[in-house]
Structure 1
C-alpha cells in the first residue's frame, strides 16, 4: 500500500472511524427533501431565505459557523438548499453530511475562472470531467488523472438548458486546492489537456457522489480569466451583472435537481 505520495495509498474500506451518518451537530425540524441545490453565494442564500415560499428546516453547526438548511418548491416539487463552503475539503464535509441526511439528487453551481479569454463572463459551462489536482478525491476513489460526471446527469442538465434556450458549453475543468499557485506553466499545461475552466471543488464532489452512489451535477458560470497575458478579474461584470446571473442559475439548478 505504501506509495511515494500518500494520496496514492487508496483504501477502499467503506466504514471509517467518523461517519457522516452519526449526525453530530446537525439539527432538523422535518425530513429533508431528496433533491438539493447548493450555491457558494452567501448573498443569494440570504436573499432567498426571506421569500415566503422558503422555510428554514434546520442547520449544521461547526466550531466556526452555523449553516442553515432551507426548503422550497419548484413546480410543486420540494427541494432543499444551502450554502456550500469554498474549497474541496470543506465542501466535501458539507456534501457528506447532507447525503447522510437523505439527499441523493444534487446540483451545485458557482463561478469558475476561464483559461480561454474568449469565454465571456457569465457564460454557462457544464463540467463533464475534471482534472484531480486536489487532495480530497483520492480518499474516495483510486488515483487517476481525471474523473467524469455521470452521463445521465449530464443529459438531464443539457435537457433543461436547451428547454429554456440557454447557451452552454460542455467542458473539462481543472480542480485545484491552491488558488495562489495557478502559475503560467500550470495554466498552459491544463490548457494543453483540454481544460477550459479552473475551480476548487468539482473533482472532489464528483468523487464523493460516485463513492456514495448518488446523482450529482455541477454548473459553472464564467467569471475571471487566466487566458490572457495577465489575470483579468472582470470586476465590472462582477459588480453590475453577476447577481442576476447567479439568481437565474439558482432556479435552473432547482429545476434540474427536482427532475433528476
Structure 2
C-alpha cells in the first residue's frame, strides 16, 4: 500500500496490511514450552482469589503504565493454559493480546461482563458473541473498514459445546463494541438493536479483528450485566456476582482447552 491508497480525510480508514510495524511485540516467557491456549479474563478479583488459593500459578507478567499484569498458568484435564487480565478497553486489551501472541499464543477465549440491550437477558446470563459491530477505533488498524468483525467459528463452537455439556443456558448473538461508555445514546442504541445486537461491551470487535489479522483463534463469552434501554440505565448490581464470574472463568478455561 502506498500513501496514495490512503484516505487523508478519514485517518481511521487508512488500513495498511503490512504485518510489520515500526514497533512490534517481542515478549517472551521463561517457559520451556509456552502453552498456545490463553484465557483473557476481565475479572481481576477472580484471578487474585484463584492465585491466592494456588489454583493459578504465576509464570510471568506483562507491563503497562498501569503497572504489572500477571500471567498465570492453569491445568485443565491435562491441558496447560495461560491466563491474564487483558486490561479494559480495546487499545490496551489488543496490545496485551498482541504480546500474548508473541509469547506463542494461538488460541484465545475471553470472558467478561457486558451491558445488555434487551430486558429479557437476565443478570448473570451467559452470551456467546458471534460477531461485533465495530464502533471502536482499534479494529480498523487490523482489518479494512467493514461494519462487523466475526469471532472464530472454532471458538464459538467450543464455547457452545462447553455450555451445553455443563447444562448452562446461554444466548448466542451479536455485540456492539464501543469506546465511549457515556455516548450510548438512544438513537445509537436503537440502531444497534435493529441490526441484531444483544449486548454492548468495549473489546470484542477489536479482539476478533486482531485474531483474523494474526491468523489465531479467538472467541468471547460474557454475562448479562447492567441494562441499557431508552428508559434509562439500570446498574442491576451486576458486578456483585462473584459466583457467576468464577463459574464463567472456569467455563472459558474448559472451552479454551478444546481448541487446537
- Which whole-Å CA distance do the structure 1 matches of 2:246 and 2:72 have between them? 16
Say whether 1:32 aligns with 2:31: no
**What pairs up with 1:212-223 in 2 under 5 angstroms?**
212-223=214-225
**Runs of at least 5 residues in structure 1 that lack an aligned partner in the other structure:** none
Give how far 1:182 is off: 0.6
Q: 2:10 is matched with which residue?
A: 5
Give how far 1:27 is off: 5.7
- Which whole-Å CA distance do the structure 2 matches of 1:39 and 1:245 have between them? 13
Q: 1:238 is matched with which residue?
A: 239
- Which whole-Å CA distance do the structure 1 matches of 2:120 and 2:190 have between them? 16
Secondary structure of 2:52's match? coil
- Which whole-Å CA distance do the structure 1 matches of 2:69 and 2:122 have between them? 32
**Runs of at least 5 residues in structure 2 that lack an aligned partner in the other structure:** none
Query: 36, 43, 46: which is aligned to 1:44?
Result: 46
Contact 1:137 1:203 in 2 (8 A): yes
The CA deviation string for residues 107-162 of structure 1, in whole angstroms up to 9 with x for no partner, is 10100101101211101001101100000000001100011112222112111111
Say whether 1:121 aligns with 2:161: no
Q: CA RMSD in A?
A: 1.4
- Which whole-Å CA distance do the structure 1 matches of 2:233 and 2:10 have between them? 31
The CA deviation string for residues 184-236 of structure 1, in whole angstroms up to 9 with x for no partner, is 1111111111111000000000000011111111001000001351100102x
Query: 141, 151, 164: which is aligned to 2:166?
Result: 164
Give how far 1:72 is off: 1.2
Q: 2:150 is matched with which residue?
A: 148
- Which whole-Å CA distance do the structure 1 matches of 2:160 and 2:184 have between them? 30
- Which whole-Å CA distance do the structure 1 matches of 2:192 and 2:159 have between them? 25
- Which whole-Å CA distance do the structure 1 matches of 2:113 and 2:249 have between them? 12
Query: 165, 184, 202: which is aligned to 2:204?
Result: 202
Contact 2:37 2:105 in 1 (8 A): yes
Contact 2:6 2:15 in 1 (8 A): no
User: Structure 2 length as normaliser, TM-score?
Assistant: 0.94
Q: 2:252 is matched with which residue?
A: 253
Secondary structure of 1:180's match? coil
Contact 1:117 1:228 in 2 (8 A): no
- Which whole-Å CA distance do the structure 2 matches of 1:30 and 1:97 have between them? 17
